[in-house]
Amino acid sequence: KNEVEQSPQNLTAQEGEFITINCSYSVGISALHWLQQHPGGGIVSLFMLSSGKKKHGRLIATINIQEKHSSLHITASHPRDSAVYICAVPYLSAQKLVFGQGTRLTINP
Amino acid sequence: NAGVMQNPRHLVRRRGQEARLRCSPMKGHSHVYWYRQLPEEGLKFMVYLQKENIIDESGMPKERFSAEFPKEGPSILRIQQVVRGDSAAYFCASSPQTTTSNGYTFGSGTRLTVV
């Protein structure tokens, strides 16, 4: 079993829809990262959070430390949001990140 | 602040050649991490370095791969005698402290193709 599990693996939606991507992890952590990767592109850090909720524009990330679960929400989705979204957690001694397998999001106009 | 700079962006090597990938961390960042993303797979940790020290290389293949972060200059990931299976995207990240600190930043990656 992977330490970090994401769902769904693939998600296709229409422009304007509300999007939710889930991440569950099995190790104790002090922070969780949400990352975005466009095809053939680099990796952009969207959020690092250790409790509660963070918002940046149309993106919202929440985390429940007790349940070991985090969600990434996108409101009023747009085709430019199409990308792979990855959650990652520091592992054990916090010297490295362990990644989920990613969620490939496609927003159709 | 130019962020984490990786070069080259794309690198093509023939089997048996050497590949050198460079990473300049963000200004003020003393921690560097290398990750590999094989085609259609997730990111995997390779090595964690601080200036002049390898802190954790548990993700590095035992042979042909090495990494350094000298006192002056960028961090280098070196792959000797490349094979087709080394074809991947290699990402570098840096942070001012550990992976739990704000400011954890990725570079744009180097895409290595072995022909």
Q: Which residues of A touch B35 (CB under 8 A)?
A: 97
pLDDT score of A91: 80
Residues B75, B69: Cα–Cα separation, whole Å: 4
Q: Which residues of A touch B42 (CB under 8 A)?
A: 86, 99-102
> In 3D, which of B107, B77, B103, B102 has the Cα closest to residue B92?
B107
Residues A75, B6: Cα–Cα separation, whole Å: 33
Residues B89, B40: Cα–Cα separation, whole Å: 11
How does residue B91 score in pLDDT terms, banded at 50, 70 and 90? very high
Residues belonging to chain A with any Cβ–Cβ distance to chain B shorter than 8 Å = 30-31, 33, 35, 40-45, 48, 50, 86, 88, 90-91, 93-102
Cβ within 8 Å of residue B113, ≥6 positions away:
B10, B11, B12, B13, B87
Interchain pair B91, A101: CB under 8 A: no
Counting residues of chain A whose pLDDT is more than 90, the rounded percentage is 76
In the structure encoding, which two tokens stand for residue A8, read together? Answer: 């769904």
| Whether the Cβ atoms of residue A3 and residue A27 lie closer than 8 Å to each other | yes
In the structure encoding, which two tokens stand for residue A58, read together? Answer: 């149309």
CB-based contact, B109 to chain A, within 8 Å:
yes
Residues A91, B12: Cα–Cα separation, whole Å: 33
Computed over every residue of chain B, the mean pLDDT equals: 93
- B106 by Cβ neighbours in 10 Å (0-12 / 13-18 / 19+) ranks as buried
pLDDT score of A94: 64
Interchain pair B35, A97: CB under 8 A: yes
Residues A75, B31: Cα–Cα separation, whole Å: 34
- A71 by Cβ neighbours in 10 Å (0-12 / 13-18 / 19+) ranks as middle
pLDDT score of A1: 60
Closest residue, chain A, to B58 (C-alpha): A96
- pLDDT score of B1 more than 70: no
Interchain pair A42, B48: CB under 8 A: no
- Of A19 and A3, more confident: A19
Q: Are strands B10-13 and B110-114 parallel, antiparallel or unpaired?
A: parallel
Residues A42, A46: Cα–Cα separation, whole Å: 13
Task: Give the closest-approach CA distance of B43 to chain A in angstroms.
Answer: 6
Q: Which residues of B touch A87 (CB under 8 A)?
A: none
pLDDT score of A39: 84
What is the number of alpha carbons within 13 Å of residue B114 lying toward its C-beta?
19
